[in-house]
Each structure stands twice: as C-alpha cells, then as structure tokens.
C-alpha cells in the first residue's frame, strides 16, 4: 500500500511537541476511571466501542515495543520516560520512513476533489475553532467551541494569591450538575489547574452559550458542609483562645486561609476561635464549602488546545469511522465530535480512532 501524509504546516507533529509542557502526556492508565463519560464528555459511547479494538493498554504496549518507554504518575497520567516529546515525534518519523510513507508538508487541501487520485482518505486535521474550517468536508458538523481553558475572575484580592494550589478542591457551575474535582491553581487572572480545566470541558457548551459569564462555586476543602462544621466546632472547642489566623483547617495555605476567613468574617479574622458565634461559624462554613465567584471570561491567553464539536458522530460508521455518505472517506482524532478532559485522554482518542481507521482501510 502506498501511503502519503499531507500536512498544511511546514512540519508535522507540532502539537505533540508542545503538549504537556514539552513532556507529552501521551495517554492515561484509566485506573481511576469507572465511567468513560467522566473523561470523555463528548463521544464516550463511541470510545467504549472503539476501545474493544485498541485501548490505552494497547497504546502503552505499542510505544514501549518500539523503544519509547513510558511512566505512569501517581495521578494516572502516562508520560514518556524521557520527559521529552521528541521521543515520540522521532518514533513516528522513523516508523514513517521505515514503512516508506511519503510526507508532504506545506500543502493545504481545500476540497476533497483535490484528493481524487487516492483510493482512501483519512482526515485527521484536528479541531477547528470555527465550523467554516470544516465546511470543505461536506458533512454534518457540530459547532466547534473551545474546551480545556482557564477562567478569568475579576477579583484583585484573589489575584494576590497567585501560585496557590489547593489539592483537594472541587468546583461547579452554579445551578447545574456540572462539577469537577482535583488540584486548583489560583493565577493572576483567576483560576486554573486540573479541577478548572475539567470543569471547562464538562461545561464547554454552557459557558460558550453564556459568553463565558456564569457563576462559579468552589469548595476549597473537598468535604461536605457537615464535616466542615464539625471540624470548625472541634477547633473552637480545643483551642478557644487561639486566633483564627494561627490554626488553618484542612491544610489550607496561610495566604488562602487569611483571604477566606476575612471574606467570611469581615474584620473578625483575627478573633479567637472560641469567640465565633453560630452565625459566623455558618458563614465560614459556607465560604469553605460553597465560595462564590463570577466567571468573567476565558483566560486572556489562547491556551486552549482542545475543541468540542466537529464532524458529527452520526455521520460516520461507529465501527469503522467511515463516512456514511462518501465511501472510502474516514475521520480520526479531534476532527470528530470527541473530546476528553485533561490527563492524556485526548491523545488516547487520537491513537484509538487512528488505529481503527487504519484497520478499516
């Protein structure tokens, strides 16, 4: 079989090169995943079907058998042991050379008619920021919108806590069931970290439709209200004369605890623990478990790498990923309406769909 890769850019795999800060989070161990919908907000049913053909264990084995050892972190993310994305880039390029695959760069295709000389076509162009970028494919398109982005929040006092990480936080969009957990990072523009990136993925369409202005609720402790009330009562009982600033519940950082207690108690943040009345204790509990913010937009940087939307999954055969309307035309990767949360899941979707397409051809 004679195979040609056609790339619009001047070099291939540029997105792989910068992924994971140049370390390439190439898949996930899926050890903590009980339901694929929690990691693939769009396309989880299709991914479950395709995993029967090629899943994360197959991807792990594929790379290692070709001389690229991998390592699984405590958070289940799988990285290259070399911690250098060029290891995977060099593997793909060497495999292409070994198999005699032609690579044409700087070649932009604007119509499928330009590819009429080919017996089979696999479209793997990745996500597009607007549906116009997919119109040339002539299929039903789910409007693309950004996913995996950070939140801008107009709160100057919060911005002063930049660099603070809360490991066990959770966040949700108020009035919805959209909720995510994990490390939360406070930045000089708002909030980031895995918790926020996951929530942005779950709520991608809702946020887009609201012009990225929705109410955000943050639980800084990861505990429920009853547990937090119990811990605050225990501290008040055991250390009544200690100032609030001297005992930080739930391992919160000093700067964050000072900010939250002042936000809850307004001028009483230096009071003794034993002096808290019921109303103040309730306000402190609310701030710790349901702290409210107003999302004012996406981060001021073009930092999103993923879009939700693309070629409708109804337009392809769910077993082969072949177009239902144009024989011998296949789709793989983010060009399809499949997207995952942060943690290697989007790369795994790329490997899985690409493998299925190659086997189908």
48-59 pLDDT tens trace:
999 999 999 999
| Phi and psi at residue 249, to the nearest 5° | -70, 155
Average pLDDT over residues 207-218: 97
Q: Are the C-beta atoms of residues 328 and 120 closer than 8 Å to each other?
A: yes
Q: Are the C-beta atoms of residues 27 and 347 closer than 8 Å to each other?
A: yes
Half-sphere exposure of 8 (CA within 13 A, CB side): 8
Structure tokens at 209: 């439709």
CA 245 → CA 47, 163, 166, 249, distances in Å? Answer: 49, 20, 18, 10
Is residue 300's pLDDT more than 80?
no
Average pLDDT over residues 230-246: 95
> What band does 12 get if pLDDT is binned at 50, 70 and 90?
very high
Is residue 33's pLDDT more than 60?
yes
Q: How far apart are CA 177 and CA 180, in angstroms?
A: 10
Mean pLDDT of the chain: 95
How far apart, in Å, do the first and last CA atoms of the chain sit? Answer: 10
Q: What is the pLDDT of residue 303?
A: 53
Eight-class DSSP state of 322 = B
Burial of 177-191, coded b for 16+ CB within 10 Å and e otherwise, reads ebbbbbebbbbebbb
What are the start-end ranges of the E strands in the chain?
Answer: 4-6, 25-28, 70-72, 77-80, 102-104, 121-123, 141-147, 151-153, 165-173, 179-186, 190-192, 215-219, 291-298, 306-311, 329-331
> What band does 88 get if pLDDT is binned at 50, 70 and 90?
very high
Q: What is the pLDDT of residue 267?
A: 81
The pLDDT tens digits for 92-146 are: 999 999 999 999 999 999 999 999 999 999 999 988 888 888 999 989 999 999 9
Q: What is the pLDDT of residue 128?
A: 85
Half-sphere exposure of 57 (CA within 13 A, CB side): 4
Average pLDDT over residues 321-340: 97
Q: What is the pLDDT of residue 131?
A: 85
> What band does 65 get if pLDDT is binned at 50, 70 and 90?
very high
Q: Are the C-beta atoms of residues 239 and 212 closer than 8 Å to each other?
A: no
Q: Write the burial class of residue 229 (CB in 10 Å: 0-12 exposed, 13-18 middle, 19+ buried).
A: middle
Q: How far apart are CA 170 and CA 154, in angstroms?
A: 20
Q: Is 117 helix (H, G, I), strand (E, B) or coil?
A: coil
Average pLDDT over residues 287-312: 86
Q: Are the C-beta atoms of residues 221 and 250 closer than 8 Å to each other?
A: yes
Q: How far apart are CA 70 and CA 120, in angstroms?
A: 33
Nearest to 323 by CA among 122, 111, 173, 99: 122
Q: Are the C-beta atoms of residues 335 and 135 closer than 8 Å to each other?
A: no
């Amino acid at each position: 079989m004679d195979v040609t890769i056609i790339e619009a850019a001047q070099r291939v795999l540029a997105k792989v090169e910068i992924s994971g800060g140049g370390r390439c989070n190439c898949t996930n161990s899926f050890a903590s995943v009980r339901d694929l919908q929690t990691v693939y907000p769009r396309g989880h049913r299709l991914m479950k079907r395709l995993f029967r053909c090629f899943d994360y264990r197959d991807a792990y084995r594929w790379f290692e058998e070709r001389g690229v050892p991998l390592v699984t972190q405590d958070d289940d993310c799988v990285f290259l042991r070399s911690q250098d994305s060029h290891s995977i880039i060099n593997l793909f390029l060497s495999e292409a050379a070994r198999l005699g695959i032609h690579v044409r760069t700087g070649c932009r295709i604007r119509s499928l008619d330009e590819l009429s000389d080919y017996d089979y076509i696999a479209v793997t162009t990745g996500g597009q920021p607007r549906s116009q970028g997919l119109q040339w494919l002539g299929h039903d398109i789910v409007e693309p919108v950004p996913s995996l982005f950070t939140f801008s929040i107009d709160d100057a006092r919060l911005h002063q806590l930049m660099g603070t990480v809360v490991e066990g936080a959770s966040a949700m969009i108020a009035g919805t069931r959209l909720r995510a957990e994990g490390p939360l990072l406070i930045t000089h523009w708002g909030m980031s970290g895995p918790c926020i990136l996951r929530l942005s993925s779950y709520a991608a369409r809702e946020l887009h439709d609201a012009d990225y202005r929705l109410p955000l609720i943050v639980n800084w402790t990861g505990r429920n209200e009853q547990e937090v009330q119990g811990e605050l009562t225990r501290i008040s009982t055991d250390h009544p004369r200690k100032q609030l600033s001297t005992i930080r519940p739930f391992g919160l950082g000093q700067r964050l605890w000072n900010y939250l207690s002042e936000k809850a108690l307004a001028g009483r943040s230096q009071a003794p623990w034993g002096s808290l009345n019921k109303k103040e204790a309730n306000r402190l509990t609310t701030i710790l478990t349901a702290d409210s913010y107003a999302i004012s937009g996406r981060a001021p940087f073009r930092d999103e790498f993923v879009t939700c939307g693309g070629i409708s999954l109804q337009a392809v055969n769910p077993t082969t990923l072949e177009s239902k309307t144009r024989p011998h035309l296949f789709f793989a990767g983010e060009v399809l309406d499949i997207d995952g949360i942060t943690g290697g899941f989007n790369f795994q979707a790329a490997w899985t769909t690409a493998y299925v397409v190659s086997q189908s051809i």
